[in-house]
Amino acid sequence: MLPGLLSACSGADLLNATVPRNTYQGTEGLAYGPHQRQRLDLYRPQAGSATRARQARPLVVFFYGGNWSSGDRADFRFIGEALASQGIVALIADYRLSPAYRYPVFLQDSALAVRWAFDHALEYGADAERIFVMGHSAGAYNAAMLALDARWLAPLGLRPKQLAGWIGLAGPYDFLPILNPLAQVAFDWPATPADSQPLVHASSASPPALLLAARSDSVVNPERNTEALARRLRQSGVRVESELLAGVGHVTLVASMAPVLRSRSPVLERVRMFVGADD
């Protein structure tokens, strides 16, 4: 279901080679927990680069995809730079992976990263009332579950409504029965609980959502996942922006945030507008 994130394009190293280093201030390897995978990289806009009238900036916590079994925050510098270049403080978080760890460990780690964001937002020039979670593919699942299912943030003293919003790129929100072997391991299929699916938790308790996917996505069905979740949330009275984009696929959707591919899709612009980076 969810291949290695950048296997279908020129690779993370080549994408990151196109990314400037003068558009952000970076801090690597910040610990949000004791495990070596509980680390994040922080990207801040350069001082004086924002067009916002007030000083505090929106903050986005980003979770990458890779079947919940692969990925490294260093591969996603192009995401951190993209967001920082738009006046957004960005956190790119690692989390513990399958097969060593199974559902729900990656959700527990994601929740810890969000707790860290709330605790440290002001320290890094961000607004604690404008924190968003965002992810691509498996990472969009993580973001969706934090935003829709109160079980993950509650033990840390947070509620989904405290998020200013959430952003899902090509996310799997309704994927039972599980067919992909790697995802089967990550979710202990066939013992996967039905309430592991984000669609089950769609309700008025969700913060606002931006849901984007590739119209031609052959990896995660956009109608069953992105469109179905958008409809369910709207029926519950949640503000939802959603679109299926032409000209990109499952991987190039997120890769189009990198400078060299930015003309392929409006993903970065849609994210910037959704989080209100120009307010």
The predicted-structure confidence for 72-108, as pLDDT tens digits, reads as follows 999 999 999 999 999 999 999 999 999 999 999 999 9
What whole-number percentage of the chain has pLDDT above 70?
93
Quick one: tokens of 210? 């931006």
Round to whole Å and give the CA distance between 187 and 142. Answer: 13
- Please tell me what DSSP assigns to residue 246: S
Round to whole Å and give the CA distance between 94 and 68. Answer: 11
The pTM (predicted TM-score) of the whole model is 0.94
Task: Confirm if 199 and 229 have CB atoms less than 8 A apart.
Answer: yes
Question: Quick one: 12-275 is in which CATH superfamily?
Answer: Alpha/Beta hydrolase fold, catalytic domain (3.40.50.1820)
Round to whole Å and give the CA distance between 12 and 75. Answer: 5
Nearest to 167 by CA among 200, 144, 148: 144
Q: Are strands 209-214 and 126-136 parallel, antiparallel or unpaired?
A: unpaired
Model confidence over 38-72: pLDDT tens digits?
A: 999 999 998 765 444 457 999 999 999 999 999 99
Q: Are strands 240-245 and 165-169 parallel, antiparallel or unpaired?
A: unpaired
The residue ranges of every structural domain in the chain are 12-275
E-strand stretches of the chain? 24-31, 39-45, 57-63, 89-93, 126-136, 165-169, 209-214, 240-245
* CB crowding 189-225: b at 16 or more within 10 Å, else e: beebeeebbbbbbbbeebbbbbbbbbeebebbbbeeb
Q: What is the mean pLDDT of residues 188-208?
A: 98
Round to whole Å and give the CA distance between 77 and 18. Answer: 10
Whether residue 272 is predicted with pLDDT greater than 80 in this model: the reply is yes
Beta bridge partners of 93: 40, 63
Round to whole Å and give the CA distance between 91 and 73. Answer: 9
Round to whole Å and give the CA distance between 237 and 121. Answer: 29
Task: Confirm if 145 and 65 have CB atoms less than 8 A apart.
Answer: no
Distances, alpha carbon 230 to alpha carbons 88, 144, 152, 238, in Å = 25, 12, 21, 9
Model confidence over 129-184: pLDDT tens digits?
A: 999 999 999 999 999 999 999 999 999 999 999 999 999 999 999 999 999 999 99
Whether residue 118 is predicted with pLDDT greater than 90 in this model: the reply is yes
- In which band, very low, low, confident or very high, does the pLDDT at 13 lie, cut at 50, 70 and 90? confident
